[in-house]
Amino acid sequence: MERTLVILKPGCLQRGLVGEVISRFEKRGLKLVAMKMVQLTDEMLDVHYAHLKEKPFFQWLKDGMMAAPVILCCWEGYSAVQVVRDMAGATRASKAVPGTIRGDYSVSAQENIVHTSDSLENAEIELKRFFVDSDYCDYPSPLNQYKYAPDEM
């Protein structure tokens, strides 16, 4: 099973959409294995968004991510990285199709409700950035037989 990071951004929290977004992942069959609320710092965001450092919107992005706390989530499931990316929709929310999280709840490229890991490699890096081993809760899911084929578990 793969694990991936989802950050529920300040706008998600401020607009009261946390339950809606978490519910979508649960209903899809993903398993929540870690979650915490944090106030991101400038230093944390310099590392997390280092690949965007030269972009003109970099400071706006950081300011938006520090405007309120965020909720960090680790979701687990078969092909979790791609499933979560598909559920989130296009980063530029104005291009996200209806039915996706961004397509239903946002129109902005920056204020787009969620951050999701874009690859399995980045998911592993990002999860280590925000979680330690003791943050994870491993628990059996009796519904796996109804969600996955034997070779997917």
CATH code of the domain covering residue 85? 3.30.70.141
Whole-number pLDDT of residue 82: 98
In a domain, 45, yes or no: no
Q: Does residue 51 have an active-site annotation?
A: no
Instruction: Check 115, 116, 117, 126 and give the catalytic one.
Output: 115
110 or 21, higher pLDDT: 21
In a domain, 57, yes or no: no
- How many domains does the structure of the chain reveal? 1
Whole-number pLDDT of residue 115: 96
Strand partners, 55: none
In a domain, 91, yes or no: yes
In a domain, 19, yes or no: yes
- Whole-structure pTM value: 0.94
Res. 100 pLDDT band, cuts 50 70 90? very high
70-77, strands of its sheet edge to edge: 31-38, 70-77, 2-8, 114-116
Whole-number pLDDT of residue 109: 82
In a domain, 140, yes or no: yes
Nearest to 101 by CA among 3, 7, 2, 4: 7
- As a whole-number percent, the residues of the chain with pLDDT over 70 amount to 100
pLDDT at 52 over 90: yes
CA 144 to chain centre: 22
In one-letter notation, the amino acid at residue 136 is Y
In a domain, 53, yes or no: no
In a domain, 55, yes or no: no
Res. 22 pLDDT band, cuts 50 70 90? very high
Torsion-angle region of residue 81: left (phi > 0), alpha (psi -120 to 50) or beta? alpha
Whole-number pLDDT of residue 108: 87
Torsion-angle region of residue 36: left (phi > 0), alpha (psi -120 to 50) or beta? beta
Whole-number pLDDT of residue 74: 98
Enclosing domain of residue 77? 2-40+69-152
**DSSP state, residue 97:** P
pLDDT at 131 over 90: yes
